[in-house]
Amino acid sequence: MEIYYGKSVYKGTAVGKIHLLSEPSEEVTRYSINDPEAEIRRFRTARDEAERQIGELYEESVSEVGQANAAIFEIHGMMLGDDDYISAVEELIRTQSVNAEYAVLMTGNDFAQRFLEMDDEYMNARSADVKDISSRVIRILLGRTADDPDEPSVILADDLAPSRTVRMDKSKVLAFVTVHGSSNSHTAILARTMNIPSIIGCKIELTPDLHGREAVVDARTGKLMIDPDSDTVEKARRQILEEKESRQALEELRGKPTVTADGRRIKLYANIGSESELASVSQNDAEGIGLFRSEFIYLSRTDLPTEEEQFRIYRTVAEKMAGKPVIIRTLDIGADKQVDYLNIGSEENPAMGFRAIRICLSRPEIFRTQLRAIFRAGAYGNISVMYPMITSLDEVHRIREIVDSVKAELVDEGIEYADIPQGIMIETPAAALMSDVLAREVDFFSIGTNDLTQYTLAADRQNAQVESFCDPHHPAVLRLIAETAKNAHNAGIWCGICGELGADTELTETFMRMGIDELSVAPSAVLPVRKAVLGSGGGGEAQ
Ligand code: PEP
Ligand code: MG
């Protein structure tokens, strides 16, 4: 048995034959052509066909994985139509009299390398996309169709292009294992959306003999085992059965209230970044949205969203949630979430820099536009608003002044709005330590444990080197959470957790004892957390 290690991006176990996905680029050879103009026409016809296919893929994937995840195919469409890309291919055919497949392969590799060299993670990820569109054009030129598996298989590939992932017949995919890729790549996100056990960064050399060999994928620990012995296979099969049973057991919790063993009702909500994730909120039976990361609206564009654009999104979310709570967090841009058009400029230490509420308070025109949209949408559902990265009482007072003036403006203009609840995120040690004072000024607290951990422990959440220091179980973090919950309750307001730690079922019992009133987690974590709450002793004071 051979064992290879990688990183799990979606946990689960699989047993089956390996289906090795080959790249059409491996079949490309270089040869000279006599008529470059005819070859360019061949390229153009293939490019047009690729564009048509991508248009179709976009439509299919919108219904399968939602608009936000399908947006990648819009990017592919744009890349295929990019003048620089097209002229680079045609130039190569014309000047070197080479075949179109070769020109597309070289251009794709060249563009991919350029994306990789850019000092921007988002642009680096586009490298796989430009290779993906080039492979599609090459496949068309070679008259090849995709070599998808015809029986349920473990898909092994160098890297998986999103277009392959989304188009594959899911009943034929037991697991994904790739040599490259990153946990936040679109393919990893798609794999998670489709609930398929997946490992990336698996250190294995892809040789043709791997195709058809038996494998066990343990995506809980990130292990790929090839030619497994019978004990390993048997153990994996038992594991698959247990996973299926625990999924079924969770299904039974659908529609059940989230109450502790001693009868305290907990609000169990979901975190989302866009309207398109609403489907998974209801699929996973979340009772509301505890964190709508509104900055994703700003991140997916090249200029500021208008009031009307934002209003439409917030109103749609509120209406679709049909009376269930929706907590919209105002713009939390900065640190790892940057947009060029805000011209924030580079900072030595962006996590401690100009971000979130700091930007909003110093650029009130941006903040006011968003507040108008949120308060107006409040008239169409059960919306609350919360403010990120608070460090002082003064900020809360300044926010209140702006909110009051925005409301007065809406009254003057005769525009309908609702006087919605306003909360703050407790995600800095300063806010946690001042939570007794802050609690008297707001309607609720939501603890952002991701940032609270990094600031408390002085360990950058983005820096893999200090990952072991960034431990949210550290007693200092837990003390701040407990103190915040106590101070919230003393002031008569509720206190939730919307950071990743809220989904950590090892701590559910602890949180219930602290009296945490709300947990807002990734949609797929809703049912596991409900299970943990049902089994927990509770003991906190209700709000
Ligand atoms: C947090 O910091 O815990 C949080 C929920 O906000 P974000 O992860 O978006 O910074
Ligand atoms: Mg945060």
Q: Tokens 């990952």 — which residue?
A: 467
Domains of the chain in start order, with CATH, are 2-17+152-236 (3.50.30.10), 24-142 (1.10.274.10), 265-534 (3.20.20.60)
Q: Is 470 a catalytic site residue? A: no
The Cα 60–Cα 313 span in angstroms is 23
Q: Which residues contact 389 (CB under 8 A, 6 or more apart)?
A: 332, 355, 356, 357, 358, 425, 427, 428, 451
Q: Which two tokens stand for residue 423?
A: 């909360």
What DSSP state is assigned to residue 305? P
The confidence score (pLDDT) of residue 84 equals 94
Ligand 1: distance of its center to the CA of 116 in Å? 28
Residue 293 Cβ contacting ligand 1 at under 6 Å: yes
Ligand 2: distance of its center to the CA of 459 in Å? 14
Residue 101 Cβ contacting ligand 1 at under 6 Å: no
Q: Which long-range contacts (CB under 8 A, 24 or more apart) does 73-79 make?
A: 73/162, 73/163, 75/126, 75/129, 76/129, 76/132, 76/133, 76/163, 77/51, 79/126, 79/129, 79/130, 79/133
Contact 403, 418 (CB under 8 A): no
Contact 371, 330 (CB under 8 A): yes
3-state secondary structure of 221: coil
What DSSP state is assigned to residue 522? -
Helix H or strand E encompassing 227: none
Ligand 1: distance of its center to the CA of 331 in Å? 12
Phi, psi (degrees; rounded to nearest 5) at 64: -85, -45
Residue 353: CB atoms within 10 Å: 15
Residue 498 Cβ contacting ligand 1 at under 6 Å: yes
Ligand 2: distance of its center to the CA of 293 in Å? 10
Residue 448 Cβ contacting ligand 1 at under 6 Å: yes
User: Active site residue: 186, 202, 360, 495, which one?
Assistant: 186
Ligand 2: distance of its center to the CA of 162 in Å? 28
- Determine the atom of ligand 1 nearest the C-alpha atom of 447: 3
DSSP per-residue letters across 119-148: S-HHHHHHHHHHHHHHHHHHHHHHTPPP--
Q: Which amino acid is at 441?
A: E
Residue 132 Cβ contacting ligand 1 at under 6 Å: no
CA 296 to chain centre: 10
Q: Which residues contact 193 (CB under 8 A, 6 or more apart)?
A: 65, 66, 69, 280
The Cα 398–Cα 392 span in angstroms is 10
Shortest-distance Cα residue to atom 9 of ligand 1: 293
The Cα 219–Cα 194 span in angstroms is 15
DSSP per-residue letters across 237-251: HHHHHHHHHHHHHHH
Q: For a substitution probing ligand 1, which of 272, 352, 387, 498 has the most ligand atoms within 8 Å of its CB?
A: 498
The confidence score (pLDDT) of residue 335 equals 78
Residue 295 Cβ contacting ligand 1 at under 6 Å: no
Shortest-distance Cα residue to atom 4 of ligand 1: 448
Q: For a substitution probing ligand 1, which of 355, 425, 428, 516 has the most ligand atoms within 8 Å of its CB?
A: 425
Residue 499 Cβ contacting ligand 1 at under 6 Å: yes
Residue 296 Cβ contacting ligand 1 at under 6 Å: no
Q: Which two tokens stand for residue 76?
A: 């592919």
The Cα 158–Cα 163 span in angstroms is 15
Distances (CA, A) of 321 to 249, 280, 473: 26, 12, 33
Q: Tokens 């060249």 — which residue?
A: 110
The confidence score (pLDDT) of residue 125 equals 76
Nearest-5° Cα angle at 33, 27 to 36: 115
Residue 332 Cβ contacting ligand 1 at under 6 Å: yes
Ligand 2: distance of its center to the CA of 378 in Å? 23
Shortest-distance Cα residue to atom 8 of ligand 1: 450
Tell me how long the chain is. 543
Q: Where are the beta strands (DSSP E) in 158-308?
A: 173-178, 198-200, 214-218, 223-226, 267-272, 289-293
Residue 497 Cβ contacting ligand 1 at under 6 Å: no
CA 270 to chain centre: 13
Ligand 2: distance of its center to the CA of 449 in Å? 7
The confidence score (pLDDT) of residue 162 equals 62
Q: For a substitution probing ligand 1, which of 274, 294, 333, 450 has the most ligand atoms within 8 Å of its CB?
A: 450
Ligand 1: distance of its center to the CA of 220 in Å? 25
Phi, psi (degrees; rounded to nearest 5) at 177: -130, 125
Q: Which residues contact 1 (CB under 8 A, 6 or more apart)?
A: 225, 226, 227, 228, 229, 232
Residue 518 Cβ contacting ligand 1 at under 6 Å: no
Contact 315, 380 (CB under 8 A): yes
Nearest-5° Cα angle at 358, 355 to 362: 125
Residue 176: CB atoms within 10 Å: 31
- Determine the atom of ligand 1 nearest the C-alpha atom of 499: 3
User: Active site residue: 202, 470, 495, 498, which one?
Assistant: 498
Contact 446, 291 (CB under 8 A): yes
Ligand 1: distance of its center to the CA of 164 in Å? 31
CA 378 to chain centre: 26
| Residue 19 β-bridge partners | 155
Q: For a substitution probing ligand 1, which of 293, 426, 446 has the most ligand atoms within 8 Å of its CB?
A: 293
- Determine the atom of ligand 1 nearest the C-alpha atom of 427: 2
Ligand nearest to C-alpha 470:
1
Residue stretches of the chain with pLDDT short of 50: 184, 542
Q: Which amino acid is at 528?
A: P
DSSP per-residue letters across 371-432: HHHHHHHGGGS-EEEEESS---HHHHHHHHHHHHHHHHHHHHTT-------EEEEE-SHHHH
Contact 64, 104 (CB under 8 A): no
Nearest-5° Cα angle at 93, 90 to 99: 125
Q: Is 186 a catalytic site residue? A: yes
3-state secondary structure of 460: coil
| Residue 291 β-bridge partners | 271
